[in-house]
Amino acid sequence: MTAAVELFVRRLEGLKTEVCRVAASGVAAAVAGACAARGIGRLGVPPGLPAEWRPAGVHVVEDHDLAPAELDALGAALTGCTLAIAETGSLVLAAGPADGRRALSLVPDAYLCVVREDQVEPDLPAAMLRIAGLIREQGRPVVFVSGPSATSDIELQRVEGVHGPRQLVVLLVS
Amino acid sequence: MARGRRRRSATAAGWYCWLVRVALFITCVADTLFPETGRSVVRVLERLGHDVVFPAEQTCCGQMHVNSGYRDDALKLARRFVDVMGRDDGVDAVVSPSSSCVGWVRELLPGVAREAGEDQLARDAEALGGRLFELSEFLVRRLGVEDVGASFARRVTLHPTCHSQRVARVGDAPQRLLARVRGLELLELPEAAECCGFGGTFSIKNADVSLAMLADKCATIVASGADVVTAVDPSCLLNIGGGLSRMGASVKAVHLADILAAEGAS
Amino acid sequence: MSRAHPHDFPAAAREALADVQLRANLRGATRTIRARRAAAVAELPDFEELREQARRVKDDALERLDELLDEFQAAAEAAGARVHRAPDAAAANAIVAGIARDHGVTELVKMKSLATDEIGLDAALATAGVEAVETDLAELIVQLAGDTASHILVPAVHYSRGQVRDLFQRTIAQGRELSDDPHELAEVSRLYLRERFLRARMGVTGANVGVAETGTVCVVENEGNGRMCTTLPPLLVTVMGIEKVLPTLEDLGLLLRLLPRSATGERMSSYVSLLTGVMPGDGPQEYHIVLLDNGRRNVLADPVGRQALRCIRCSACLNVCPVYSRVGGHAYGSIYPGPIGAILTPQLWGMEEHAKLPFASSLCGACADVCPVGIDIPEVLLHLRARAVREQAPAPEKALFAAAAWAFGSPRSFDAAQKAGRAAEAPLSRGGLIRRLPAPLAGWTKGRDLRPVARETFREWWTRERGGETP
């Protein structure tokens, strides 16, 4: 495990994100376990999600332009990502086939994201270099996700979980 | 007190602890309200063997006017000031007990003059600025002296004024000097970097906010346990001293120069 | 937002200082954020270099503003957005209301945006029969209370948790009995707003940055309401001040390293969204971007003052300001308070109403120390004070300063003035101190004693002891 990946894990944990270290072949089982632990029955996925990641024992719903209310009825969403940033503990979604639509990783209350170790960039400038091409050439919408949503608007006391997913799980694949 | 032999430094850059000839820039505030501070600057420098002259044509450097928006008057006063203080070429340095006045002339005046189209004034100000110093930075950075032979057996706390830190940038020169004063116990000031609330006419135009800031500054000074609060700006000391006096505190506001001049607590 | 009459900062400040709850809230909030910011910035060994780079990037962008705005418009439109130019608030409001009307929208969801607050968008939409629901928790609080924001970043900082509880209890609690636990209060707002997000037909946001090369709009937030506004509704509008445009995505990356740390003391905000036109099948299928001037070109015209346009609205200057942290935002009478507000407001909307703002400062310089884009706020304050005096100075004050300048004109007049001062204050002196000065200097002695003119001034002493000037 590289220094960047180590840092990434530390930052994720600091951001109240659960980290599961798995082998590539263990993703589906880990997802199934995470869903069972949270009582999640319906799991939304992008149509382009690799088949080997799809868990058994959970109702997997492909996101073919689900309406907001339908997304809200899902217990969780599972996607991949385009890359991750170690320095800030960020996931970067850029509308790739495994990333899915932005609404999918936003509305369900729990969000599971699969990150391969080789997707982890050390810092923001390195990540921007990779993303810039996708924006310049394809105009892809990009979202950086760094922890569950939070507010500090009441007496500056940090409250996790406002409008974005209140639970964030990263499955880190070596 | 016998004066040492006069020797000038070779160039502006080649400062050694030779004997130098210093012109005192007293400032309008110190001249009028803190003459003892001026006398102290003279005593300290002469004790170290240097020559001190007082160009009596000086009045005010213009800082008060520029801070209140009276820019044209400020530049007229600054022009006059630069002429008077830049006059004597036998002078190696111009030294002042006010870091805000030094900061204005050295750091800010050139830019303000240029913006007003007064390029000659800007150049003259820069030339003067090369040998213009606040007292503590002069002693520590230019003369390389930290022990000036002072004795002041009191518990003292230092307020690092905003202009001394951010404009003139004297750094830790005051602390270094205080550390070598015999008998002096230097106590830390809580929240030292907070502004005392003076700000020139701010203290009158926004008196309520100014006094709220001053109240907090006085409270931290009292909390430090010191008998004396010191600084390198007479205006801040005027403000702080005025606040301490009004609240009936026993802490006295004393300029750094007065401490350095002391040869036994009085 | 300009007013019909001059704003009296000293009076407003005096009122704010008397509000004990406000002062306590502000003190706690500003100190907390200050410490977080300092810790986050300390992690970057090259912070000073980054600041300097950001300053240069911003100055370059302002130099080439028109070129970059044209580039931004072309790129955004090529990516499927529609770009509108709004010279002032009325034009911007008309554009947004028009878009809502054209789509039959009567309720929209809105992300916190200073630009939209500046133009009074919510009120304009209400007049046009459109309800704009504020979805930032703090903005929601302020909206429900019929109040205005008091801080750039945490607009409800002047509310304690008890005050928020009372407010929610009588507005959105829907019969539920509430505690003042911030977790519970956030949950109440979450449920209230989620309904609205899921049914929203239109979203409105501001922009932190606009990238010229790609027409990309960047939105930074923590709560997720911004993502809700920019993802779920089929129709989206962004109102962006023209000074927000930067040349490239790399420039955006630079700013993203500075903004979260300077603003909330975090390495990265929870969500950063980069929106480039329209993406079929993902998010809004119709996107309008309104480029707002509303006085910004006035600021651009001033070679010294224009550095205020570098501002990225992080609010670091507010949190370290000894004045702001004691009086809060309302005292400034502008949507932009604190140090940045004192230099931006009079430049945007004129010295006639805002002449007192450049004087709402002790010139301590703490703000310039923390500004991530290197705005020299004290320099601009001095510059604007000169403008205020030229345009608005009251005659009595002008006379006083003219008299002082005359007195300083020669050593003889100075000496005479000192002697006259000594004589004049003799009757005021009690026990060696002056405890009461007459107007207009009475503000000094309100809370301070004053040393009198010395019995012997320094120059009198030197003349007597040293026989005048040494040859």
B193 and C366 within 8 Å at the Cβ level: the answer is: yes
B35 and C453 within 8 Å at the Cβ level: the answer is: no
Q: Sign of the C-alpha dihedral, residues C395, C400, C403, C409? A: negative
| d(C-alpha B224, C-alpha B155), whole Å | 9
* Burial class for C424, CB neighbours closer than 10 Å (0-12, 13-18, 19+): exposed
**β C429-430/C107-110 pair status:** unpaired
B209 and C17 within 8 Å at the Cβ level: the answer is: yes
Mean pLDDT of B103-128: 97
Q: C244: helix, coil or strand? A: helix
pLDDT in tens, B231-262: 999 999 999 999 999 999 999 999 999 999 99
Residue A99, Cα to own-chain centre: how many angstroms?
8
**In this structure, which topology does domain C58-294 adopt according to CATH?**
Rossmann fold (3.40.50)
C22 at interface of A, judged by CB pairs closer than 8 A: no
C26 at interface of B, judged by CB pairs closer than 8 A: no
- C337: Cβ–Cβ under 8 A, 6 or more apart, which residues? C150, C151, C152, C318, C324, C328, C329, C330, C331
| d(C-alpha C345, C-alpha A39), whole Å | 53
* Burial class for B57, CB neighbours closer than 10 Å (0-12, 13-18, 19+): middle
| Distances C386 to B4, B80, B197, C359 between C-alpha atoms, Å | 47, 20, 21, 11
pLDDT in tens, C86-107: 999 999 999 999 999 999 999 9
- B128: Cβ–Cβ under 8 A, 6 or more apart, which residues? B82, B85, B86, B94, B105, B106
C137 and A125 within 8 Å at the Cβ level: the answer is: no
What distance in Å separates residue A48's CA from the closest CA in chain C? 14
In this structure, what is the dihedral angle of CA atoms B136, B138, B139, B143, given to the nearest 10 degrees? 160
Beta bridge partners of A77: A44, A111
pLDDT in tens, C339-367: 999 999 999 999 999 999 999 999 999 99
B205 and C327 within 8 Å at the Cβ level: the answer is: no
Interface of C with A in 314-353 (CB under 8 A): none
Rg (CA), chain A: 15
C10 and B206 within 8 Å at the Cβ level: the answer is: yes
Q: Is the pLDDT score of B116 beyond 50? A: yes
**In this structure, which topology does domain B155-261 adopt according to CATH?**
Rossmann fold (3.40.50)
Total CB pairs under 8 A between chain B and C:
199
Residues of C in contact with A65 (CB under 8 A): 281
Mean pLDDT of B101-122: 97
| d(C-alpha C204, C-alpha C111), whole Å | 6
C250 and A135 within 8 Å at the Cβ level: the answer is: no
CATH code of A103's domain: 3.40.50.10420
C470 and B202 within 8 Å at the Cβ level: the answer is: no
**Nearest chain A residue (CA) to C78:** A139
Q: A76: helix, coil or strand? A: strand
In total, how many domains does chain A have?
Answer: 1
Q: Sign of the C-alpha dihedral, residues B173, B178, B179, B180? A: positive
**β B21-24/B51-53 pair status:** parallel
- Looking at residue C182, its pLDDT comes to 86
C351 at interface of B, judged by CB pairs closer than 8 A: no
Q: Sign of the C-alpha dihedral, residues C261, C265, C267, C271? A: negative
**Nearest chain C residue (CA) to A128:** C253
**Nearest chain C residue (CA) to A64:** C281
Q: Is the pLDDT score of A52 beyond 90? A: yes
Residues of A in contact with C184 (CB under 8 A): none
- Looking at residue C406, its pLDDT comes to 97
Helix axes B35-47, C458-466, angle to 10 degrees: 50
Q: What is the ipTM of this complex?
A: 0.96
Task: Judge contact between C211 and C67, C-beta under 8 A.
Answer: no
Edge-to-edge strands of the sheet including C245-246?
A: A120-121, A83-85, A90-93, A142-145, C271-276, C216-221, C209-211, C245-246
Q: What's the token pair of residue C367?
A: 């703000």
H or E segment and range at residue C313: none
C156 and A148 within 8 Å at the Cβ level: the answer is: no
**Nearest chain A residue (CA) to C213:** A136
Range of the domain at A88: 3-173
Task: Judge contact between A63 and A44, C-beta under 8 A.
Answer: yes
**Nearest chain A residue (CA) to C189:** A162
Residues of C in contact with B38 (CB under 8 A): 458, 461-462
| Distances C368 to B195, B229, C321, C356, C375 between C-alpha atoms, Å | 14, 27, 10, 20, 6
C462 and B71 within 8 Å at the Cβ level: the answer is: no
Query: Using CB atoms, which chains have 3+ pairs under 8 A with A?
Result: C
C363 at interface of B, judged by CB pairs closer than 8 A: yes
A124 and C269 within 8 Å at the Cβ level: the answer is: no
Residues of C in contact with A164 (CB under 8 A): 223-224, 227, 270-271
Average pLDDT in chain B: 93
Helix axes C249-263, C20-42, angle to 10 degrees: 130
pLDDT one digit per residue (tens) for chain C, 471 residues: 444 589 999 999 999 999 998 899 899 889 999 999 999 999 999 999 999 999 999 999 999 999 999 999 999 999 999 999 999 999 999 999 999 999 999 999 999 899 999 999 999 999 999 999 999 888 888 888 888 777 777 777 778 888 889 999 999 988 888 998 888 888 888 989 999 999 999 999 999 999 999 999 999 999 899 999 999 999 999 999 999 999 999 999 999 999 999 999 999 999 999 999 999 999 999 999 999 999 999 999 999 999 999 999 999 999 999 999 999 999 999 999 999 999 999 999 999 999 999 999 999 999 999 999 999 999 999 999 999 999 988 888 999 999 999 999 999 999 999 999 999 999 998 888 999 999 889 999 999 999 999 999 999 999 999 985 544
Terminus-to-terminus CA distance in chain A, angstroms?
8
Q: Which residue in the set B56, B69, B80 is minimally distant from C469, CB to CB?
A: B56
- Looking at residue C4, its pLDDT comes to 55
Give residue B183's region: left, alpha or beta (phi > 0; psi -120 to 50).
Answer: left
| d(C-alpha A124, C-alpha A112), whole Å | 22
Q: What's the token pair of residue B176?
A: 């270094």
C388 at interface of A, judged by CB pairs closer than 8 A: no
- Looking at residue C430, its pLDDT comes to 86
Nearest CA to C92 out of C233, C247, C206, C200 is that of C206
Mean pLDDT of B143-172: 97
| d(C-alpha C256, C-alpha C209), whole Å | 10
Percentage of residues in chain C having pLDDT higher than 70 = 98
Terminus-to-terminus CA distance in chain B, angstroms?
21
| d(C-alpha C354, C-alpha B61), whole Å | 29
Q: Which residue in the set B53, B67, B193 is minimally distant from C363, CB to CB?
A: B67
DSSP assignment of B136-169, as one string?
HHIIIIIS-------B--SEEEE---HHHHHTS-
How many residues are given for chain B?
Answer: 266
Peptide bond preceding C440: is omega within 30 degrees of 0, i.e. cis? yes
